[in-house]
Structure 1
Amino acid sequence: MLDTLLFIDDDPITLMLCKMVISKASFSKVIITAKNGEEALQYFDKLIQNNTENKKIPQLIFLDLNMPVMGGWEFLDHFSTDKYSEYNDIKVIILSSTVDPEDLKNSQKYPMILDFLSKPISKEMLEYVSTII
Protein backbone atom coordinates (compact mmCIF):
# COMPACT_ATOMS: atom_id res chain seq x y z
CA MET A 1 0.00 0.00 0.00
CA LEU A 2 1.25 3.46 -0.90
CA ASP A 3 1.32 6.20 1.71
CA THR A 4 0.34 9.00 -0.68
CA LEU A 5 -0.98 9.14 -4.23
CA LEU A 6 -1.61 12.21 -6.40
CA PHE A 7 -4.45 12.04 -8.92
CA ILE A 8 -4.53 14.84 -11.51
CA ASP A 9 -7.77 15.01 -13.50
CA ASP A 10 -10.28 17.74 -14.31
CA ASP A 11 -13.37 15.53 -14.20
CA PRO A 12 -14.94 15.48 -10.70
CA ILE A 13 -16.82 12.23 -11.43
CA THR A 14 -13.60 10.51 -12.50
CA LEU A 15 -11.88 11.76 -9.34
CA MET A 16 -14.73 10.53 -7.15
CA LEU A 17 -14.79 7.08 -8.80
CA CYS A 18 -11.02 6.77 -8.62
CA LYS A 19 -11.01 7.64 -4.92
CA MET A 20 -13.63 4.95 -4.35
CA VAL A 21 -11.72 2.28 -6.31
CA ILE A 22 -8.36 3.19 -4.74
CA SER A 23 -9.85 3.17 -1.22
CA LYS A 24 -11.69 -0.13 -1.72
CA ALA A 25 -8.54 -1.74 -3.10
CA SER A 26 -6.47 -0.37 -0.17
CA PHE A 27 -4.00 0.93 -2.75
CA SER A 28 -3.08 4.18 -0.96
CA LYS A 29 -3.61 5.61 2.51
CA VAL A 30 -3.85 9.23 1.30
CA ILE A 31 -5.27 10.37 -2.05
CA ILE A 32 -4.48 13.94 -3.04
CA THR A 33 -6.32 15.36 -6.04
CA ALA A 34 -5.62 18.24 -8.41
CA LYS A 35 -7.96 19.51 -11.14
CA ASN A 36 -5.14 20.33 -13.57
CA GLY A 37 -1.38 20.44 -13.93
CA GLU A 38 -1.10 23.95 -12.54
CA GLU A 39 -2.88 22.94 -9.33
CA ALA A 40 -0.55 19.94 -9.02
CA LEU A 41 2.54 22.12 -9.48
CA GLN A 42 1.19 24.48 -6.79
CA TYR A 43 0.99 21.48 -4.45
CA PHE A 44 4.67 20.69 -5.10
CA ASP A 45 5.57 24.38 -4.75
CA LYS A 46 4.02 24.32 -1.25
CA LEU A 47 6.05 21.21 -0.41
CA ILE A 48 9.22 23.00 -1.51
CA GLN A 49 8.35 26.18 0.44
CA ASN A 50 7.31 24.45 3.66
CA ASN A 51 10.32 22.13 3.69
CA THR A 52 8.97 20.20 6.67
CA GLU A 53 9.78 16.61 7.57
CA ASN A 54 6.10 15.66 7.68
CA LYS A 55 5.50 16.12 3.95
CA LYS A 56 2.81 14.27 2.06
CA ILE A 57 5.03 13.41 -0.91
CA PRO A 58 3.23 11.19 -3.40
CA GLN A 59 4.91 7.96 -4.38
CA LEU A 60 2.83 7.79 -7.56
CA ILE A 61 0.96 10.20 -9.82
CA PHE A 62 -2.02 9.27 -11.98
CA LEU A 63 -2.14 11.92 -14.71
CA ASP A 64 -4.83 12.81 -17.23
CA LEU A 65 -3.57 14.48 -20.41
CA ASN A 66 -6.44 16.65 -21.58
CA MET A 67 -7.30 19.26 -18.97
CA PRO A 68 -8.04 22.98 -19.03
CA VAL A 69 -5.57 25.52 -17.61
CA MET A 70 -2.60 23.11 -17.81
CA GLY A 71 -2.74 19.69 -19.43
CA GLY A 72 -0.69 16.62 -18.65
CA TRP A 73 2.12 17.19 -21.14
CA GLU A 74 2.63 20.76 -19.96
CA PHE A 75 2.65 19.54 -16.35
CA LEU A 76 5.33 16.97 -17.20
CA ASP A 77 7.43 19.61 -19.00
CA HIS A 78 7.42 21.77 -15.85
CA PHE A 79 7.67 18.86 -13.40
CA SER A 80 10.79 17.45 -15.06
CA THR A 81 12.75 20.71 -14.63
CA ASP A 82 15.44 21.38 -12.02
CA LYS A 83 12.94 23.25 -9.84
CA TYR A 84 11.20 19.94 -9.05
CA SER A 85 14.31 17.74 -9.24
CA GLU A 86 13.86 16.37 -5.71
CA TYR A 87 10.53 14.88 -6.90
CA ASN A 88 11.68 13.55 -10.29
CA ASP A 89 11.85 10.01 -8.95
CA ILE A 90 8.06 9.97 -8.43
CA LYS A 91 6.59 7.58 -10.96
CA VAL A 92 3.75 8.66 -13.27
CA ILE A 93 0.98 6.62 -14.85
CA ILE A 94 -0.79 8.37 -17.71
CA LEU A 95 -4.50 7.64 -17.38
CA SER A 96 -6.38 8.89 -20.41
CA SER A 97 -9.70 8.24 -22.11
CA THR A 98 -8.03 8.15 -25.53
CA VAL A 99 -4.96 6.25 -26.56
CA ASP A 100 -3.46 8.31 -29.38
CA PRO A 101 -0.31 6.76 -30.92
CA GLU A 102 1.31 10.22 -30.79
CA ASP A 103 0.67 10.38 -27.05
CA LEU A 104 2.22 6.94 -26.59
CA LYS A 105 5.26 8.09 -28.55
CA ASN A 106 5.46 11.36 -26.59
CA SER A 107 5.30 9.49 -23.27
CA GLN A 108 8.64 7.82 -24.04
CA LYS A 109 10.38 11.20 -23.65
CA TYR A 110 9.74 11.18 -19.90
CA PRO A 111 11.67 8.59 -17.85
CA MET A 112 9.24 9.06 -14.92
CA ILE A 113 6.32 7.62 -16.92
CA LEU A 114 5.80 3.95 -16.09
CA ASP A 115 2.84 3.25 -18.35
CA PHE A 116 -0.01 4.66 -20.39
CA LEU A 117 -3.39 3.21 -19.38
CA SER A 118 -6.98 3.79 -20.47
CA LYS A 119 -9.71 5.09 -18.19
CA PRO A 120 -11.60 4.09 -16.16
CA ILE A 121 -9.43 2.94 -13.30
CA SER A 122 -10.23 -0.52 -11.98
CA LYS A 123 -9.12 -2.85 -9.21
CA GLU A 124 -7.38 -5.02 -11.83
CA MET A 125 -5.51 -1.98 -13.10
CA LEU A 126 -4.34 -1.15 -9.58
CA GLU A 127 -3.16 -4.75 -9.15
CA TYR A 128 -1.15 -4.38 -12.36
CA VAL A 129 0.29 -1.01 -11.25
CA SER A 130 1.35 -2.61 -7.95
CA THR A 131 3.56 -4.99 -9.91
CA ILE A 132 5.37 -2.23 -11.84
CA ILE A 133 5.99 0.42 -9.17
Structure 2
Amino acid sequence: MLELIMCIDDDPITLMLFKKVVQKASFAKEIINASNGQDAINLINEANNNPEKENKPKLIFLDLNMPVMGGWEFIDLFNSSNYFNLNNTKIVILTSTIDPDDIKKSKSYLNVIEFLPKPITVEMLDNLKTKI
Protein backbone atom coordinates (compact mmCIF):
# COMPACT_ATOMS: atom_id res chain seq x y z
CA MET A 1 0.00 0.00 0.00
CA LEU A 2 1.32 3.40 -0.99
CA GLU A 3 1.49 6.14 1.62
CA LEU A 4 0.29 9.01 -0.56
CA ILE A 5 -1.10 9.40 -4.07
CA MET A 6 -2.58 12.35 -5.95
CA CYS A 7 -5.53 12.46 -8.33
CA ILE A 8 -5.81 15.46 -10.66
CA ASP A 9 -9.22 15.68 -12.31
CA ASP A 10 -11.81 18.42 -12.74
CA ASP A 11 -14.81 16.09 -12.38
CA PRO A 12 -15.98 15.74 -8.75
CA ILE A 13 -17.79 12.48 -9.51
CA THR A 14 -14.61 10.97 -10.95
CA LEU A 15 -12.71 12.07 -7.83
CA MET A 16 -15.34 10.52 -5.53
CA LEU A 17 -15.37 7.26 -7.49
CA PHE A 18 -11.56 7.22 -7.58
CA LYS A 19 -11.38 7.52 -3.80
CA LYS A 20 -13.86 4.67 -3.27
CA VAL A 21 -12.03 2.32 -5.64
CA VAL A 22 -8.62 3.14 -4.11
CA GLN A 23 -10.00 2.40 -0.64
CA LYS A 24 -11.63 -0.84 -1.80
CA ALA A 25 -8.36 -1.98 -3.39
CA SER A 26 -6.30 -0.95 -0.31
CA PHE A 27 -4.04 0.85 -2.77
CA ALA A 28 -3.09 3.96 -0.77
CA LYS A 29 -3.37 5.30 2.76
CA GLU A 30 -3.96 8.90 1.70
CA ILE A 31 -5.25 10.64 -1.45
CA ILE A 32 -4.73 14.28 -2.34
CA ASN A 33 -7.16 15.67 -4.91
CA ALA A 34 -6.67 18.62 -7.25
CA SER A 35 -9.20 19.93 -9.75
CA ASN A 36 -6.63 20.97 -12.37
CA GLY A 37 -2.90 21.03 -13.04
CA GLN A 38 -2.40 24.45 -11.47
CA ASP A 39 -4.09 23.40 -8.22
CA ALA A 40 -1.86 20.31 -8.18
CA ILE A 41 1.29 22.40 -8.71
CA ASN A 42 0.17 24.69 -5.88
CA LEU A 43 -0.28 21.70 -3.55
CA ILE A 44 3.10 20.27 -4.55
CA ASN A 45 4.79 23.65 -4.01
CA GLU A 46 3.17 23.93 -0.59
CA ALA A 47 4.48 20.48 0.37
CA ASN A 48 7.95 21.29 -0.99
CA ASN A 49 8.10 24.51 1.01
CA ASN A 50 7.05 22.82 4.23
CA PRO A 51 10.00 20.88 5.68
CA GLU A 52 7.68 19.13 8.14
CA LYS A 53 5.87 17.46 5.23
CA GLU A 54 8.19 14.65 4.26
CA ASN A 55 5.51 12.72 2.45
CA LYS A 56 5.39 13.38 -1.27
CA PRO A 57 3.03 11.55 -3.64
CA LYS A 58 4.54 8.37 -5.04
CA LEU A 59 2.00 8.21 -7.83
CA ILE A 60 -0.11 10.82 -9.64
CA PHE A 61 -3.28 9.95 -11.54
CA LEU A 62 -3.79 12.63 -14.17
CA ASP A 63 -6.66 13.62 -16.42
CA LEU A 64 -5.64 15.32 -19.67
CA ASN A 65 -8.57 17.64 -20.41
CA MET A 66 -9.04 20.18 -17.63
CA PRO A 67 -9.54 23.93 -17.35
CA VAL A 68 -6.80 26.33 -16.17
CA MET A 69 -3.95 23.85 -16.70
CA GLY A 70 -4.45 20.59 -18.56
CA GLY A 71 -2.60 17.32 -18.16
CA TRP A 72 0.11 17.87 -20.77
CA GLU A 73 0.94 21.31 -19.37
CA PHE A 74 1.11 19.79 -15.89
CA ILE A 75 3.50 17.03 -17.00
CA ASP A 76 5.79 19.51 -18.76
CA LEU A 77 5.94 21.74 -15.69
CA PHE A 78 6.27 18.79 -13.30
CA ASN A 79 9.21 17.46 -15.33
CA SER A 80 11.04 20.79 -15.10
CA SER A 81 14.05 21.21 -12.83
CA ASN A 82 11.85 22.91 -10.20
CA TYR A 83 10.54 19.48 -9.21
CA PHE A 84 13.69 17.37 -9.43
CA ASN A 85 13.09 16.19 -5.85
CA LEU A 86 9.99 14.39 -7.13
CA ASN A 87 11.63 12.64 -10.06
CA ASN A 88 10.76 9.25 -8.52
CA THR A 89 7.06 10.12 -8.64
CA LYS A 90 5.32 8.20 -11.42
CA ILE A 91 2.31 9.39 -13.42
CA VAL A 92 -0.68 7.39 -14.62
CA ILE A 93 -2.80 9.14 -17.21
CA LEU A 94 -6.42 8.39 -16.38
CA THR A 95 -8.62 9.92 -19.05
CA SER A 96 -11.67 9.49 -21.22
CA THR A 97 -9.76 10.35 -24.39
CA ILE A 98 -8.97 7.57 -26.83
CA ASP A 99 -6.86 9.65 -29.18
CA PRO A 100 -3.96 7.47 -30.45
CA ASP A 101 -1.77 10.60 -30.58
CA ASP A 102 -2.27 11.10 -26.83
CA ILE A 103 -1.30 7.50 -26.14
CA LYS A 104 1.80 7.89 -28.34
CA LYS A 105 2.72 11.21 -26.70
CA SER A 106 2.41 9.70 -23.21
CA LYS A 107 5.13 7.19 -24.09
CA SER A 108 7.60 10.04 -24.64
CA TYR A 109 7.58 10.84 -20.90
CA LEU A 110 9.75 8.56 -18.78
CA ASN A 111 7.69 9.06 -15.63
CA VAL A 112 4.36 8.17 -17.30
CA ILE A 113 3.97 4.47 -16.56
CA GLU A 114 0.44 3.84 -17.82
CA PHE A 115 -2.37 5.28 -19.94
CA LEU A 116 -5.75 4.10 -18.60
CA PRO A 117 -9.37 4.76 -19.55
CA LYS A 118 -11.83 6.14 -17.01
CA PRO A 119 -13.23 4.94 -14.70
CA ILE A 120 -10.51 3.34 -12.59
CA THR A 121 -11.18 -0.21 -11.38
CA VAL A 122 -9.78 -2.42 -8.65
CA GLU A 123 -8.28 -4.62 -11.37
CA MET A 124 -6.45 -1.65 -12.90
CA LEU A 125 -5.00 -0.77 -9.50
CA ASP A 126 -3.94 -4.37 -8.90
CA ASN A 127 -2.11 -4.34 -12.25
CA LEU A 128 -0.43 -1.05 -11.33
CA LYS A 129 0.94 -2.56 -8.12
CA THR A 130 3.26 -4.70 -10.25
CA LYS A 131 4.63 -1.62 -12.05
CA ILE A 132 5.49 0.52 -9.04
Aligned residue in 2 for 1:69: 68
Length-normalised TM-score, structure 1: 0.96
1:59-100 Cα offsets, whole Å, 9 max, x none, are 100000000000000000100000011102100000011221
In 2, Cα distance between equivalents of 1:46 and 1:91? 19
Q: How many residues align?
A: 132
How far apart are residue 13 of structure 1 and its match? 0.2
In 2, Cα distance between equivalents of 1:42 and 1:62? 16
In 2, Cα distance between equivalents of 1:13 and 1:55? 30
1:25-61 Cα offsets, whole Å, 9 max, x none, are 1110001100000001001111221122x43311100
1:4-28 Cα offsets, whole Å, 9 max, x none, are 0100000000000010010111110
Aligned residue in 1 for 2:48: 48
How far apart are residue 105 of structure 1 and its match? 1.4
107-116 vs 43-52, greater mean Cα deviation: 43-52
Specify the code of the residue in structure 1 equivalent to 2:83: Y
In 1, Cα distance between equivalents of 2:18 and 2:55? 19
In 1, Cα distance between equivalents of 2:5 and 2:40? 12
Give the secondary-structure state (helix, strand or coil) at the position aligned to 2:130. Answer: helix
Unmatched runs of 5 consecutive residues or more in structure 1 = none
Aligned residue in 1 for 2:129: 130
Give the secondary-structure state (helix, strand or coil) at the position aligned to 1:50. Answer: coil
In 2, Cα distance between equivalents of 1:125 and 1:56? 24
Specify the code of the residue in structure 1 equivalent to 2:19: K
In 2, Cα distance between equivalents of 1:86 and 1:19? 26
Specify the code of the residue in structure 1 equivalent to 2:44: F
Length-normalised TM-score, structure 2: 0.96
Aligned residue in 2 for 1:80: 79
Unmatched runs of 5 consecutive residues or more in structure 2 = none
Aligned residue in 1 for 2:117: 118
Aligned residue in 1 for 2:35: 35
Aligned residue in 2 for 1:100: 99
Give the secondary-structure state (helix, strand or coil) at the position aligned to 1:132. Answer: coil
